[in-house]
């Protein structure tokens, strides 16, 4: 079981954003999708999420053919770089949103929201409005909201990219610990090599729409035969 994409090709006019991408990401793994800006990371994530369709190729999520399923039927949680929060709702209401629209029983929602807020260390902020949170707290809230519906797959597109370096570091450590608790199959997009090395079980390097390298952080970092380090340090 895993996320399997096979032969994914996506063009925008003459431009090839994804060029025959085939990759298999095991269940429970935290994968970093690493590459320079414009490399195709977000496009790949959007195609996996069902927010965009590829020209060719297939997406299989946990053994289930998903290529033609709409996003809402893929059971995918998504967190973007720029906070997609409901500004007029409290933190607790934001986290409850996915459960409310699925009409889950009230008691179940209340309990689940309590658990999630604890998981992301926001229990004491439950009645605040998002505008009263720091950037890092808001992204933790967004993660709790994405996790609320127990997604099969969690897709994080540069979730900490808009934050300053210190908070980013804290959040990446936190995400690593969180993942060790929830084990949700996760793809974490970043163009920051250090972030990928520190957070991921496995790194997939994507550039110009192609998968260039795949390996554990140790494999990629320690292997002098590849230009992994040099490529991104130069940016
Ligand atoms: P990354 O997330 O790695 O920075 P993207 O997947 O966002 O890269 O984009 C890859 C390439 O595809 C970029 O050159 C981008 O300009 C192009 N692209 C992405 N989305 C569209 C679109 N909707 N229309 C036209 N070009 C697009
Ligand atoms: Mg992107």
Per DSSP, the chain holds a count of helices (H) and strands (E) of 8, 10
Please give the CATH topology (third level) of the domain spanning 2-75+151-233: Rossmann fold (3.40.50)
Closest listed residue to residue 146, CA positions, set 176, 182, 189, 173: 182
Give the pLDDT of residue 235. Answer: 47
> Is the CB–ligand 1 distance for residue 31 below 6 Å?
no
Query: What pLDDT score was predicted for residue 230?
Result: 46
- CB of 124 sitting under 6 A from ligand 1: no
Hunting for tokens 């793809």 — which residue is that? 187
Q: Write down the pLDDT at residue 123.
A: 97
Q: What is the mean pLDDT of the chain?
A: 91
The residues spanned by each domain of the chain are 2-75+151-233, 85-150
Q: How far is CA 32 from CA 131, 157, 186, in A?
A: 29, 10, 8
Q: Confidence band (pLDDT; 50, 70, 90) for 221?
A: confident
Question: Closest ligand to 16 CA?
Answer: 1
- C-beta of 135 in contact with ligand 1 (< 6 A): no
Residue 203 in contact with residue 220, Cβ under 8 Å?
Answer: yes
Provide mean pLDDT across the span 118-137: 94
Ligand nearest to the CA of 35: 1
Is 37 close to ligand 1, i.e. is its CB under 6 Å away? yes
Please report how the helices 135-147 and 106-119 are oriented relative to each other, as an axis angle in degrees rounded to 10: 140
Taking CB atoms within 8 Å and a gap of at least 24, the contacts of 102-107 are 102/149
pLDDT of residue 29: 97
Residue nearest to atom 27 of ligand 1 (CA): 12
Residue 59 pLDDT level (bands cut at 50, 70, 90) = very high
Cα 99 to ligand 1 centroid, rounded to whole Å: 32
Residue 57: both structure tokens together: 């190729």
Per residue in 51-90, is it b (16+ CB within 10 Å) or e — as a string? bbebeebebbbeeeebbeeeeeebbbbbbbbebebeeeeb
ipTM for the predicted complex comes to 0.97
CB distance 41 to ligand 1 below 6 Å: yes
Q: Is the per-residue pLDDT at 229 higher than 60?
A: no
Concatenate the DSSP letters of all residues of 93-128 into one string: HHHHHHHHHTT--HHHHHHHHHHHHHHTT-GGGTTS
32 and 196 in contact (C-beta within 8 Å)? yes
Identify the bridge partners of residue 155 per DSSP, sorted by sequence position.
78, 187
pTM of the model: 0.91
> Best substitution site from 10, 43, 187 to test ligand 1's pocket, by max atoms within 8 Å of Cβ?
43
pLDDT confidence bin for 149, thresholds 50/70/90: confident
Distance between CA atoms of residues 76 and 48, nearest Å: 9
Higher confidence at residue 74 or residue 223?
A: 74
The protein residues having their C-beta less than 5 angstroms from ligand 2 (an ion) are 41-42
């Amino acid at each position: 079981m895993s996320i399997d994409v096979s032969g994914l090709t996506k063009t925008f006019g003459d431009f090839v954003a994804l060029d025959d991408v085939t990759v298999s990401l095991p269940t429970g793994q935290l994968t970093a999708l690493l590459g320079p800006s414009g490399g195709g990371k977000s496009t790949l994530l959007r195609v996996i999420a069902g927010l965009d369709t590829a020209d060719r190729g297939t997406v299989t999520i946990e053994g289930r053919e998903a290529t033609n399923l709409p996003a809402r039927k893929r059971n995918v949680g998504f967190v973007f770089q720029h906070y997609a929060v409901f500004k007029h709702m409290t933190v607790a209401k934001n986290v409850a949103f996915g459960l409310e629209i699925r009409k889950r029983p009230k008691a179940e929602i209340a309990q689940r929201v309590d658990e999630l807020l604890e998981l992301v260390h926001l229990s004491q902020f439950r009645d605040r409005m998002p505008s009263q949170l720091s950037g890092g707290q808001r992204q933790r809230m967004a993660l709790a909201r994405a996790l609320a519906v127990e997604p099969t797959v969690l897709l994080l597109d540069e979730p900490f990219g808009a934050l300053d370096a210190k908070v980013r570091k804290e959040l990446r450590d936190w995400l690593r610990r969180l993942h060790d608790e929830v084990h949700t199959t996760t793809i974490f997009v970043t163009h920051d090599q250090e972030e990928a090395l520190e957070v991921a079980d496995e790194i997939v390097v994507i550039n110009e729409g192609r998968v260039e390298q795949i390996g554990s952080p140790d494999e990629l970092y320690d292997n002098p035969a590849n230009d992994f380090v040099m490529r991104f340090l130069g940016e």
